[in-house]
Amino acid sequence: MRGGVKTLLLGVPLLLWASNSTLDYAWEARGEKYRLVLFLDQDLCGQLSEGDLFLFITPEGKVYKRTIRRKPRNCKLYKYFS
């Protein structure tokens, strides 16, 4: 499944950033687990740094969060589910 997603980036200390654009995402099966892959644009990818909290909201209204541990490779973020 692919679709668009709205993003919100909360950094430390309390930096607030909201994207007006929608980003692509996809669900991928990984054995018995699934992962949500978020494809970032170059501008957003360049703004992410270690420790930022990245929230993304799907068109269905589901909210997922991810703390950035290191700068994303290939401008992709992953969130794993069992």
Q: What is the pTM of this model?
A: 0.59
Residues 24-71: pLDDT tens digits? 778 888 788 888 888 887 877 887 778 887 777 766 777 778 788 887
Q: 38 is written with which tokens?
A: 């978020």
The C-alpha atoms of residue 13 and residue 64 are separated, in whole angstroms, by 21
Query: Can the peptide bond before residue 72 be classed as cis, meaning omega within 30 degrees of 0?
Result: no
Q: How many domains does the chain have?
A: 1
The range of the structural domain enclosing residue 39 comes to 2-81
